Chain A
């Protein structure tokens, strides 16, 4: 039994993730049970426990996007106790080791620091290496938000010409980003040359605010490569975004689990860097945006031999 669980189907990225899972399930002649928990930690854990108690745990594969770091451990422990195979993505507390569990095959995430830095540098390049920016942070207690912001800090350190005027949180949300940006625009007026955001939804919100204020020539960058953002990038409205390839994420977790469950993958013998790794991500700028407008998954990626092709290194 293949199960993919994400926050909700009401945002393009996670919807694409689940679709990727469905595609893979078809590939191996199964179906994926789509679970969403509406961003409620408690509900996510309860769902997992219920699924494991109701279904046949031993041949269950979970591909989970934990709501926050705090949710990873209970999910994994539940799976471990029930004997189900689980792959987690994005959120994991640093002090938890995947290799301590034999049913938690892998945790894969993306180097948020890296992506935060990449888009920052793309922005700075467009701004010509000097100017002022403001930053919109994500939900403050998520690793993603922290790492990405750290990446920005790094980039700033490397580019003395750029100053960070202000940073506020907009909770990864589009309408919050809109309101906050508006206020920041009045606060700093024309001083702002760039807006760094921790995800595309906020970037798009910021864009709207700029439109409403009739401001042009302000560089905006985000992360996640939601279709609208990619479109904006290729139209030149947005500077850059970073793709983690949602459909691939939705499939790969199931693939790894499926291989383990079917014995084609011996979890014990996996190298540490396959148990917890950074996956390959793609910086999208005007030049390569066109290729990402229609994301496509290659079935070959999910053969048990290739499931670890996108490993770019262990999580440090």
Chain B
């Protein structure tokens, strides 16, 4: 063991002048990490004022239920974003998954679910490999993936909706546990808890943020940068696949464009949750809050009777305000 007794060399006046004091940063960080919740509650309150019945349990459950697939979709992508990348392929990948699931259930039954999620994971893995090996920006790789998956979905499905012959294989994902809690919520929460536990309890979490904050430093510390990124993309793919399953479960069919429109809402959910789009700082739970906020805007507004034209104006305005509130500027050097 190396023993290095350097104590005698210390000059304490040097020390005193060098020691930085605990600045109030900590408390501010605390406050900021709560911001997504604050924004969420605020928005809910506003909607309740517009329509008091919005706050009723039934209505809230329906809202969370709607948010579940979005949260699932965004959860995996969150990790990619924390690595400093982005995944634009999740939505079309989910659509592709829905088609495959609808096609395979007749033959594989319930086994089709792990099968399609596996396929989605592989798809994510391939994108990750291209990104890491060929050094192509993730934005481009996944943009390509986006188009390729959507094309694949169209071809495989013959550009038509594929009804789920027997919904038996997916009912578990679209029932109400104890007649109250939609299972999709439970499934989503389980998946997200799992991810966040791994991020918290294993080194994975700090590896991800190290890579996101400063990739060169992470690489020169001998971190498995490539492996971590690959895992992130694979996870993102798997989550997209799982989201696809949830959508099939509630739509009773798979369609080549089923989830395509969820891309921007998903990204919005990630950023509104307070995860830095530049990487490093963030977390999957934040994304859950983000997903709820986005869903309130997507569905809540029109339901409480906002005219569709003004709906999208409000959507745009509120989403900007929400991000302005939730982002932790101390964690991002220059805003791009």
Given A54, A71, A141, which contacts B157 in the complex, CB threshold below 8 Å?
A141
Looking at B51, B58, B61, the one whose CB has the most chain A CB atoms below 10 A away is B58
The complex places the Cα of A93 from the Cα of B257 at a distance, in Å, of 16
Given A8, A46, A55, which contacts B308 in the complex, CB threshold below 8 Å?
A8
| B232 on the A face (CB < 8 A) | no
| A231 on the B face (CB < 8 A) | no
Quick one: which of A123-165 are within 8 Å of B by CB? Answer: 140-141, 146
Smallest Cβ-Cβ distance to A146: which chain B residue: B160
The prevalent SS among residues of B at the interface is: helix
Q: If A70-B258, A73-B251 touch, does A54 touch B59 (CB 8 Å cutoff)?
A: yes
* B305–A33 CB distance below 8 A: yes
Given A9, A50, A55, A95, which contacts B299 in the complex, CB threshold below 8 Å?
A50
* A35–B154 CB distance below 8 A: no
| A106 on the B face (CB < 8 A) | no
Closest 6 CB pairs of A and B: A140-B159, A53-B62, A40-B261, A46-B66, A70-B161, A36-B308
Quick one: which of B288-303 are within 8 Å of A by CB? Answer: 295, 298-300, 302-303
* A36–B302 CB distance below 8 A: yes
Interface residues of B, CB < 8 Å — how many? 44
**Chain A window 22-63, contacts with chain B (Cβ cutoff 8 Å), 1 for yes, 0 for no:** 000000000001111111111101110111111100000000
| A74 on the B face (CB < 8 A) | yes
**Shortest distance between the CB of B268 and any CB in chain A (Å):** 14
The complex places the Cα of A46 from the Cα of B250 at a distance, in Å, of 10
29 A-B pairs within 8 Å (CB atoms) are namely A8-B308, A9-B308, A38-B261, A41-B251, A41-B261, A42-B69, A42-B258, A42-B259, A43-B261, A45-B250, A46-B295, A46-B299, A49-B66, A50-B59, A51-B303, A54-B53, A54-B56, A54-B58, A54-B62, A55-B53, A69-B160, A70-B254, A73-B253, A74-B251, A93-B161, A140-B154, A141-B159, A141-B161, A146-B160
* B61–A53 CB distance below 8 A: yes
Interface residues of A, CB < 8 Å — how many? 35
Given B159, B252, B258, B298, which contacts A46 in the complex, CB threshold below 8 Å?
B298
Q: If A71-B251, A141-B161 touch, does A47 touch B262 (CB 8 Å cutoff)?
A: no
